Chains A and B, each alone.
Chain A
Amino acid sequence: MPSQVPQCLKYPAVAADILRKRHSLKQELLQQSNLLSARIAILGGSTTSEIRSMLEIFLLAHGVRPEFYESGYNRYSEDVLFESPSLWCFKPDIVFIHTTWQNVLEFPELTDGEAQFEERVRREIARFESIWQKIHNDLGALIIQNNFDLPRTRPLGNLEAFQPSGRLNFLLRLNAEFANYARKHSRFLINDILYLSSRLGLDAWYGHTYWYNFHMAVTPTAAVALAQNIAGIVKSVYGKSKKCIVLDLDNTLWGGVIGDDGVHGLLLGRDHAVGEAFLDFQRYIKNLQRRGVILAVCSKNEAENAKEGFSHPDSILKVEDFSVFKANWNPKPDNIREIASELNIGLDSIVFVDDNPAERALVSNQLPEVATPEVGTDVSRFAEILEYERFFETDKIVRDDLNRADYYSANAQRSAHEAQFSNYGEFLKSLEMAAEIGSFVPIYLERITQLINKTNQFNLTTKRYTSAEVEAMSLDSEFITLYGRLTDKFGDNGLVSVLAGRIHDETVEVDLWLMSCRVLNREMELAMFDALIEQCRARGIRAIKGIYIPSKKNGMVANHYESLGFARQADSDESCQAWGYDIPESYLPKTRFISVFTKPQPVPANA
């Protein structure tokens, strides 16, 4: 999110306030710079204008400026299957299909048995699949599809839950089939309105006034919640989710003050109501860490005391779960700056959680880029407040996410190791680095797409690509594509660099070159450049054109092409710089400290 998210969009936001202020909110949010563009088609099984209005607000708050296509009422199917020219011209990046239980065409009959039930499920799913497949095949867009909410009435009473003729039973089965489809298709995401409607309650979710007057399948309040949820999904698709949670300790991860109460005086564990709430919050944090969110401590304490707190027998979190541990008496904004620097992440990738309102206010005031939710002092509310703002929403969990905490822990070991060397080259040599570099292959496409859409600092152009576009690039002989993985003696850093360029005659134009900040200053970029040269030579390419588009965050690569020996092309402007490099007859590899293993290049389909 940008640094100044309007207060009324933060927890505890009131839907009516957001609806009332939507015009002024929009004007305020449009003042931000560096907004990403997104073309979103909303295909409605009911009217969708309220959802569109709210979605625009929440997306702007996440730094995404949407352009919308909106289908007519209940034309979600026809617009796709009959190829609505305006939809096809619109070329959406994302298609959101807003259907609800009212859009089910074929509910079971009272006399239906198991076989008829299954047949109706099959037909209904086939109907939706035909829409999804056409969107994927013809429009190439990512799909966000509502699953089904439940009706407020139950003609069969509790039998609805299990009888073949029960509507609730039928809807839950359709939801299971939707989920099954989502597991098998990477460009298909569920907007879970079954959860949202349960969270709000069906009476607040649906209103007769809105349905019979306006054919709104959800109330305005529900439309706000629904739009916020979709915006969270879109944010994650565009790599705008947070990466790190910085936590205070006393009365945040345990009850009491470790320096005064000692380990055994802390409230933590099942034998005390408040202690149990702290335990559950620790478990929540541990789950975030397991799926790739980086943990850091920022506490006013003596370091040894602070660490001792995690030796409490009931503590779920352990010292080694934290990638950075700052326990001292320095101002917290200073510590958080250092945490961001040590992790090589931006301040806007951080969420700070502290029970102390004065510390929150200080951080909020001095570091507005850091998200500092008003968590209050009641630990039992912390997790749901964090969830409310969808800080850590993710569109998929890839293997690299699961290993991320290991990378950052290994980084801490590297830092300690680095301190033993006065010569940086000696340090790099001692890391015993090995890189695997190859053309894009299917197994890595998800991670490549994720890296393209999340990397901001070492990113020459900050261009974003959908996974369909990345896949198309990998199959196109007019492109050179390279991924790079890096390991060292402390562990596997995973897939950390991506490079791609289109070939024009004897020149390749590189407009995608990025690298994870976790391997900065390791000369991985040189290994990638060597591999690019090797590819160029193999394909008869004599020159490389490199593009650099400055952004607020990629200043670290402003001299990247110059340092590699490129010359600035005279006709290029500041906002989109072009750099040229003629490949010499006798090129000497630049990599000094990395053993490179080049994977055999797959042959593109149209080669």
Chain B
Amino acid sequence: MNRTEFLLQMDEILGLKPGTLKGDEKLDELQNWDSTSLVSLIGLAESSNSVEISPEQVVGCSTVADLLRLAGAN
């Protein structure tokens, strides 16, 4: 899954209109951002890009761009 596709999936996870997220947003400032969104994204990364995400990596994420990097979608 590439960056554009991943951002569109993130839009859906957060209940946002397609194309809302650009990639430079801070996670804590996102509308509807909650733990369910986070675990949904981890699941998405793991299932779509076969990326295994360790606990330390998750804790280090503060922006959408960080997540994209983790998910291998940058």
- The reply on A214 being an interface residue by CB < 8 A is yes
B55 touches A20 (CB 8 A): no
- The reply on A82 being an interface residue by CB < 8 A is no
A220 touches B43 (CB 8 A): yes
B59 touches A213 (CB 8 A): yes
- The reply on A216 being an interface residue by CB < 8 A is yes
Task: Kindly identify which residue among B32, B36, B53, B59 contacts A19, using a CB–CB cutoff of 8 Å.
Answer: B36
* Complex Cα spacing A204 to B7, Å: 26
Which stretch (A46-54, A132-140, A271-279) binds chain B?
Answer: A46-54
Chain A interface size, under 10 / 10 to 19 / 20 to 34 / 35 or more: 20 to 34
Q: Which residue of A lies closest to B48 (CB)?
A: A16
Chain B interface size, under 10 / 10 to 19 / 20 to 34 / 35 or more: 20 to 34
Q: Which residue of B lies closest to A22 (CB)?
A: B36
Nearest Cβ on chain B to A57's Cβ, whole angstroms? 11
- The reply on B21 being an interface residue by CB < 8 A is no
Nearest Cβ on chain A to B32's Cβ, whole angstroms? 7
- The reply on A554 being an interface residue by CB < 8 A is no
Nearest Cβ on chain B to A66's Cβ, whole angstroms? 16
- The reply on B42 being an interface residue by CB < 8 A is yes
SS of B interface (majority): helix
* Complex Cα spacing A49 to B40, Å: 12
* Complex Cα spacing A213 to B35, Å: 11
- The reply on B34 being an interface residue by CB < 8 A is yes
* Complex Cα spacing A20 to B54, Å: 21
- Residues on B with C-beta less than 8 A from A16 are 40, 43-44, 47
- The reply on A587 being an interface residue by CB < 8 A is no
Nearest Cβ on chain A to B36's Cβ, whole angstroms? 5
A20 touches B12 (CB 8 A): yes
Nearest 7 A-B pairs (CB), nearest first?
Answer: A23-B15, A19-B40, A220-B39, A53-B36, A213-B55, A50-B36, A212-B55
Which residues of B come within 8 Å of A, CB atoms? 9, 12-15, 32, 34-36, 38-40, 42-44, 47, 53-55, 58-59
Which residues of A come within 8 Å of B, CB atoms? 15-16, 19-24, 27, 47, 49-50, 53, 208-210, 212-214, 216, 219-221
Task: Name 15 interchain pairs, CB-CB below 8 A, sorted by A.
Answer: A16-B40, A19-B13, A19-B36, A19-B39, A20-B9, A22-B13, A22-B36, A50-B35, A209-B53, A209-B55, A210-B39, A214-B38, A220-B36, A220-B39, A220-B42
